[in-house]
Structure 1
Amino acid sequence: MTNFQTPSSAPLRLAAVDLGSNSFHLLIVEADNGHFTELEKCSKKVQLAAGLDDHGQLDENVMIRALECLEAFGTIIDEHRVDRLRVVGTNALRTAANSIDFVVCAEQCLGQRIETISGREEARLIYQGASTAWQNDTAHCLVADIGGGSTELIVGSGTRPLALESLEMGCVVYTRRFFGSGDITEATMASAEQAALLELANITAHYRRLGWQRAIGTSGTIKAAAATLRAIHPGLKKGEITREGLVELRRKLIELGHLDRVSMSGLKSNRARVFPAGIAILSAIFKALNLEHMQHTNGALRDGVLLDLLSRDTRHDVRHTTLGDMQRQYQVDVQHAEYVAATALTLFDQLETPWALDEASRQLLEQAAMVHEIGLGIAHNRYHQHGSYLLANSDMPGFSLPDQLALAWLVQAHRRQLPEPPPEHRAALPSSTLMRLARLLRLAVVLCRARDSADHWPSTLAADDDSLTLTFLQPIPDLLRQDLALEQQWQQRSGLSLIIETP
């Protein structure tokens, strides 16, 4: 496996599970002294997107097939005694109306929360995984990944993406849409290509302006296209796809005439039925972006997920950059945000054991404190609601959709009426944990109201189940006393007890 630059530390066993719309992928590696060593890599065609009915519901059969795959993955993960695991869901889980039903069962199979990621976050992670092949080369590169439900296109320089896009076109959904009868004709191929060109139209000009020195493809469709072409033309470089080769593959598929008859040297049988749709999408990409050739690389989403997971213990955590960018964009008082965050973490540390809080909870609390005033960049009135909207609806590199939902809810909950927590399994943490973090954040905001870190009032915080007692070690100003009394009222409205003790 390609070597990656990682922090020097004791060896760690990491696992990534990619719940793709066509295939589920598992990658297990050992990270040691700056390198990844592959221990296990397996994929299973599940075709989650094919199980979506006309109402966007995942049918029972595909869910059973998917859960059987995850049970097998769970056994492998246990056998390798993995230290850290991250599971991400992509287009099919973003789209399915009943995705929560599947997610609940899938989390039980793996013993791990599933993070559904946005299309652009998927694109970022794909680029991060692919760019390991050229991380020391800063030339502009185009990366394409044709999945089962969506296609990601990225232009980047070195390891830094410059443009990220996820388009609603994939080999599984296009097979159902354009090849539902099974017929492969000039008309069905042209219809699929035209639909893909329409999806590409909104990004073509911008991507061409950015430009690239090489075009790279990742994942199954592009890998299959390259393998099939090399079987026809052995002189081609491994992984290479040419414009002329795509035209030839298209012609051969039309000659075969039906999905049941798709069989080519180099093409795995379990990909045959979605191959024509994949070739139609790839042909449209070549046409829209005026490509002459593309090179397949093995790095993909699962590799990016592992790199992202490992970076979270370092100063290179992209989430820090994302929050910093948002602070600057909305002119957040960073010094005050850091003061609130430090106060919130001091409170957290006192209740970490009695409330059984974990590191993920601590990180989320700190993140919420750093951006709790982001809504002031919109308006002062109801700024907590403005901030919540921004966090829920912005592209936030490094954050999954459940991460964003939890963060947005905490920012909304940091003042005035405590809202109802998000439904279970939709946010990154359980509702009960989110409510406890909100109470800590609210207290930190009140304690820091003077916006002066010199005005520090020593205190201790204790919990008896969900009853909190905040004890001050010296007299406090009347204004702070009034603020705390008001906070007691807000929490009491939600049936929560907050006791304030002063000398």
Structure 2
Amino acid sequence: MPQHKNFPLIAAIDLGSNSFHMVLAKTDQQDIRILDRMGEKIQLAAGLDEHLRLQEDAIQRGLDCLRRFAQRIGDLPPGSVRIVGTSTLRVAINRREFIERAEAILGHDVDVISGPEEARLIYLGVSQTLPDSPGRRLVVDIGGGSTEFIIGQEFEPQYRASLQMGCVSYGQRFFPDGEISTGNYVRAYTAARLEMMESESSLQRLGWQDSVGASGTLRSVAQACQAAGIGQGEISRQGIRHLKQMLLKLDNASQIDFPGIKPERRSIFPSGLAIVEAICDALDLSKISLADGALREGVLYDLVGRHHHEDVRERSISSFMARYHVDTTHALRVEHKALELLEQVAPDWELDEEWHGELLSWAARVHEVGLDIAHYHFHKHGAYLVEHSDLAGFSRQEQQMMALLVRGHRRNIPADRFQEFGRDATALLRLCILLRLAILLHRIRNHHCMPDLQLRVSGCQLRLLFPDQWLDDNPLAAADLAKEAQWLQRVNHQLEVV
């Protein structure tokens, strides 16, 4: 598998539902030093129509911002930049269109991350910027489309939840055209309390010693409290009551002129305040202090960890295998053979990017997780588990691609599913073929009869060369390979075995 690299400069870009942010940093071992920050209010969530399609004007706002970001990261090599999309890109049905256009501008891949993964990265960013504390810490991050709750200790999150309430989506829903009224505010507050009902008991059962806020919404509320002479930069019940009284004297968000509230945050301040009040009431919080770190800092530290062989994805895969009682010895045997085949064909099949080896390795290790459900269609059960499980460190696309390899590792290959991955479709199909061959060659589940063999490829032509007489001495393997040639013909690949 390709080795991780050390990069002197790394960058993280957060494609949020309200704002896009970029952080550029210098690395020194596992420490990072921030060199530059950029952020623009895009309100991507405001561009979702009733059918959850991103409208072109919102797409253009985002792409215009990314063109400016691209000027700062244009010379950074692959692997040194990670770009993550959050709530709005999770739900937008045409997100692939936006992502492809964004990737063309930035020259780097865009990962859409799940809510729990977003929560993990937020906690990592917060914990890296706060002093150590002996007890548990509650972290809250109110975004444009979702709100994340995390309870953790030191650098390890112990509970993560992502709820569908955000300052932009609630602003559109409850304060149309910025209209402020007691009724609108109460409806927003009530909706947030209802959204929290399922998570309240889990959060309170674990408990915490300190509550910390991250994100612009919580920061703007804290700054407004301090500007009003209430507290020293934290959010308190007294501060919330004061801001609420001031807010409900107004008719429209455009009239907000509170000290500490930036003009670009006025339109989302009413919804943000309602969510903050609901959170404090639901969790009985008397105070929320503020942290400097957030999602983008978490992405940076996660990136540094990957480069120093502390990739949380490896831990996720190991735990996943243990949970579903995978035969580890066999899985690692298949992984070794798959990577051996990959090394032989990588130049001819253009499979020399780092993610090719990583994806093939992960898929080989988890290809049998579905056996814990049932043997019948276990490849389909396994694909479902891989795609829909909470695997820390993985983006949605990584899990979907891994799930597709697991789904296609035996019997019929779902060719139409590969086409859904656009420019990566050919690479994924080729990785799937390598995984199938590795599994087939170890069907007997041991090493004793496995010879040295060569795989040669040219386009859709594969030639598998065995030592003299080996196929004659192993008729079952020969029959399996003949059947595999028939399966591969269905996806227009020709396998010759000699």
Q: Same fold (TM over 0.5)?
A: yes
Q: Say which of 388, 396, 400 aligns to 2:383.
A: 388
> What does residue 66 of structure 1 align with?
62
Cα distance change on mapping 1:213 and 1:14 into 2, 3 Å: same
Aligned to 2:396: 401
Deviation of 1:83 after TM superposition, in Å, equals 6.1
Aligned-partner Cα distance in 2 for 1:371–1:79: 36
Distance 1:18 1:37 in 2: 18
Q: How does the TM-score come out when normalised to structure 2?
A: 0.95
Partner of 1:459: 453
Q: Given that residues 11 and 32 in structure 1 are in contact (C-alpha distance below 8 angstroms), is that contact kept between their aligned partners in structure 2?
A: no
SS in 1 for 2:198: helix
In structure 1, runs of 5+ residues without a counterpart are 1-7
Residue 173 of structure 2 is aligned to residue 177 of structure 1: yes
Matched, 1:368 2:366: no
Distance 1:423 1:283, change over 3 A: farther
- Which stretch of the first structure deviates more once superposed, 360-369 or 29-38? 29-38
1 CA distance for matches of 2:76 and 2:428? 32
Contact 2:74 2:106 in 1 (8 A): no
CA spacing shift, 1:444–1:138, aligned 2, 3 Å: farther
Structure 1 stretch displaced more, 270-279 or 251-260: 251-260
Alpha-carbon deviation of 1:256?
A: 2.5
Map 1:47-62 → 2, pairs under 5 A = 47-62=43-58
- Structure 2 residue 433 is the aligned partner of structure 1 residue 439: yes
In structure 2, the partner of 1:379 is: 374
1:90 aligns with 2:86: yes
Q: Name 1:290's counterpart in structure 2.
A: 284
Contact 1:414 1:441 in 2 (8 A): yes
Instruction: Describe how 1:25-424 pairs up with structure 2 within 5 A.
Output: 25-78=21-74, 84-134=80-130, 136-233=132-229, 236-238=231-233, 240-357=234-351, 358-422=353-417
**C-alpha displacement at 1:183, in angstroms?**
2.2
| Aligned residue type for 2:375 | H
Deviation at 1:426, TM superposition (A): 4.6
1:142 partner amino acid: L
The letter for the 1-side match of 2:374 is: A
Confirm or deny: 8 A CA contact 1:93 1:99 kept in the other structure.
yes
- For 1:312, what is the secondary structure of its paired residue? helix
Contact 2:10 2:76 in 1 (8 A): no
Distance in 2 of aligned mates of 1:368 and 1:80: 29
For the 8 Å contact 1:9–1:33, the answer to whether it is kept is no
The 3 A distance-change label for structure 1 pair 337 and 208 is same
Contact 2:143 2:166 in 1 (8 A): yes
Q: Tell me which residue corresponds to 1:484.
A: 481
Distance apart, 1:380 and its partner CA: 0.5
Please state whether the residue corresponding to 1:352 is helix, strand or coil: helix
- For the aligned residue pairs, the C-alpha RMSD in angstroms reads 1.7
Q: Equivalent residue for 1:494? A: 491
Q: Which runs of 4+ in 1 moved over 3 A?
A: 8-11, 79-83, 134-138, 421-427
- SS at 1:184's partner residue? coil
Amino acid at match of 1:99: R
Once residues 420 and 385 of structure 2 are traced to their aligned partners in structure 1, the CA distance between those partners, rounded to angstroms, is 21
AA partner of residue 31 (structure 2): H
- Change in 2 beyond 3 A, CA 1:74/1:360: same
Q: CA deviation at 1:304?
A: 1.1
Q: Note if contact 2:345-2:456 (Cα within 8 Å) is conserved in structure 1.
A: yes
Structure 2: how far apart are the matches of 1:455 and 1:313?
A: 37
SS at match of 2:178: coil
Distance 1:356 1:13, change over 3 A: same
Residues 385 and 80 of structure 1, relative CA distance in 2, 3 Å threshold: closer
Q: Structure 1 stretch 249-258 or stretch 414-423: which is displaced more?
A: 414-423
Residue 4 of structure 1 corresponds to which residue in structure 2? none
Report which stretch shifted further, 55-64 or 38-47: 55-64
Mark the CA change 1:244 to 1:186 in structure 2 (over 3 Å): closer, same or farther. Answer: same
Identity in percent: 40
Counterparts of 2:128 and 2:437 in 1: how far apart (Å)?
44
Tell me the secondary structure at the aligned position of residue 410 of structure 2: coil
Q: Taking structure 1 as the reference length, what is the TM-score of the superposition? A: 0.94
Distance 1:81 1:494, change over 3 A: closer
Query: Contact 1:129–1:301 (CA<8 Å) still a contact in 2?
Result: yes
Offset of 1:34 from its aligned partner? 2.9
Q: How many residues align?
A: 491
Deviation track 1:355-380 (CA, whole Å, cap 9, x = no partner) reads 12111101000000000001000001
* AA at the equivalent of 1:412: R
Residue 157 of structure 1: how far off its partner (Å): 1.2
Deviation of 1:142 (Å): 0.5
Task: Give the gaps of 5 or more residues in structure 2.
Answer: none
